Amino acid sequence: MITVAISRGRLLKETVELLKRAGFSAAGISNGSRKLIFEYPKEGLKVLIVRPSDVPSYVEYGASDCGIVGRDTLLEEKHDLYEPLDLKIGRCKLVVAAPSGFSLTSERIIKVATKYPRIAHNYFTQRGINVEIVKLYGSVELAPIVGLSDVVVDLMSTGETLRKNNLVVLETIAEITAKLIVNRVSMKVKSHEIKEFIRKLKEVREF
């Protein structure tokens, strides 16, 4: 049996659909469930439901053999993992957004509200722009409206949330999709099972 940690929240529905297309029942898994561990002995699969930011840690430290998580999480924190497959789900963009009319400039320190302080700091530093990072865990779009920041760095799928808060995209930092990640020891010890899992996912992912 292999253990797979998957992200609750925005990725969960697409992940469950992908698992079902690959031949796994994924019965009972939903964002509305309080259950965090699902076992499917006949399918050789155990699923853990965890916070997106925790998925890489579960995999890196061996609590889970594999994980499915957004590329944004992997860019924000460095982990010693294999990343064998882009699953092509959870498509969105990591963007810099600000109130209409705002212009990025290197002439002053810019306040940036974000859930991704490392990515934001590196991005602006490489462009020669001095920034002050304000780390938030939610409602990032509110920050420029109340004067907490000049810009935000956040995920955008349809752009509707930004538009509703009168923000416009200034730049795109990265295209984001979900990745399959694998523990290095598990890849050796459970090589056959994990390679078969990868094969099944690869066959049904969208392009």
Same domain, 66 and 145: no
Same domain, 106 and 171: yes
Please state the domain count of the chain.
Answer: 2
Give the model confidence (pLDDT) of 35-85 as tens digits: 999 999 999 999 999 999 999 999 999 999 999 999 999 999 999 999 999
- The residue type found at 133 is I
Same domain, 20 and 32: yes
Q: Give the domain extent around 79.
A: 2-90+177-204
Same domain, 200 and 147: no
Same domain, 55 and 26: yes
Give the model confidence (pLDDT) of 156-192 as tens digits: 998 898 999 999 999 999 999 999 999 999 999 999 9
Question: Which CATH number belongs to the domain containing residue 66 in this structure?
Answer: 3.40.190.10
| Spatial separation of the C-alpha atoms in residues 207 and 113, rounded to whole Å | 33
Q: Is the dihedral of CA 10, 159, 126, 144 positive or negative?
A: negative
Same domain, 51 and 12: yes
Same domain, 195 and 127: no
Same domain, 70 and 11: yes
